[in-house]
Structure formats: C-alpha cells, structure tokens
Amino acid sequence: MTDRTTYVLVDGENIDATLGQSILGRRPQPHERPRWDRLLQFAEDTWDQPVAGLFFLAANGELPMPFVQALTAIGFRPVPLSGNADEKVVDIAIQRTLEELGRREADVMLASNDGDFVEQLSPLVGPGRRTALLAFREFRSAGFVPLIDRGLEFHDLEYDVQAFNTRLPRIRVIPIAEFDPREFL
C-alpha cells in the first residue's frame, strides 16, 4: 500500500434511482440494493492503497439514522445535505468535492451515472492521477465516453465491482465467450 488515498464518492440517489426506475422498474427490495462495503473493498483491492469513502445524500427534513449508522459502520463517511427545493444538493456537493480533489494528490472513484459531473471530473483524468467511474454501463452518461477515451477507468457496479448479492435483470451485450443459453431457456 502507498501513502496516497483513493476517494470513493458515492451519488447514492443516482445509483438508487437508476436501479429502481431503469433496471427493476420498482423500488428495490433490501436484498437488491448495492452492498456499499464492496465499493470500498473494490477500490482498495484495485489500486492497492488506502480508501476514504464519502457517501452523499439529501437529508432535507430528517436524517435517516439507521442508514447513516450502517454507512459509518462499513467505513463510509456520510455527507448529509440540505438546501432549497430547487437545489440538487448532492450534485453540488460532489462537484465541489471533485474540484477540491483537483488541488490534492489523490485518486478518485466516482459512483454515479450522472453526466452532471463530467465537467469537474475531466481535469482529474490524466497523468499523475487515477480516476474511475463506477456505474451501470448501459445507463452511464454518454458525456463520460470522451473521458474514458482519455484514460478514465470504467467499472460496472454489477459485473466488475460485484456490488450486488443477486443478479439484476439487465439487458446487455454478451460477449460470445460468456454466452450461456441456459440463462435464456
């Protein structure tokens, strides 16, 4: 391990909304939600250095204490945010955090499909820093593709990170080497 840190920034609302609305078509059951601890372990194993996890969540009104306590127990630092109804507080906070990380010697993994972060992530992609996007391949913003072409690593939350206990009902292009007809019969 090195003295350098990987910051794992999680846009939990985006991942949850994509999972519920786009993949499952309903609110996810507890057993269908990501195992957030696996993101931290994946980051540590992938880049072999210490990890600091920041989990951003909108907390207008009440703080979801059981969830916050669970995040803390697995090693995340919850970042509960509030603001005006017209403010995307999670997006604003992640954008500001990415900008600040640009002034530090650190590596970054962002868990989100949201293209609202392309502008702030772009300067972090290049020599001297590792950056990665953790998302669902078919739902990640097309705005990230040029960054991937420049060196942004991409890791699928289900297939690469293995953040789920159950297989999700996703439609994906299947490499012929992985095709198993039993999955379709």
* Tens digits of residue pLDDT in 135-151: 999 999 999 999 999 99
Tokens 């269908």 belong to 32
Chain mean position to CA 55:
9
Instruction: Give yes or no for a contact between 18 and 113, defined as CB atoms under 8 angstroms apart.
Output: yes
How many Å apart are CA 79 and CA 10, to the nearest integer? 10
All domains in the chain, ordered by first residue: 6-183 (3.40.50.1010)
Q: Which regions in the chain score pLDDT beneath 50?
A: none
Instruction: Give yes or no for a contact between 4 and 49, defined as CB atoms under 8 angstroms apart.
Output: yes
How many Å apart are CA 18 and CA 23, to the nearest integer? 7
- Per-residue pLDDT tens digits for 100-116: 999 999 999 999 999 99
pLDDT score recorded for residue 1: 55
pLDDT score recorded for residue 2: 63
Q: How many Cα neighbours within 13 Å face the side chain of 53?
A: 24
Query: What pTM did the predictor assign?
Result: 0.92
Q: Kindly report the CA angle at 24 between 77 and 7, in degrees rounded to 5? A: 20
Instruction: Give yes or no for a contact between 107 and 129, defined as CB atoms under 8 angstroms apart.
Output: yes
How many Å apart are CA 108 and CA 111, to the nearest integer? 10
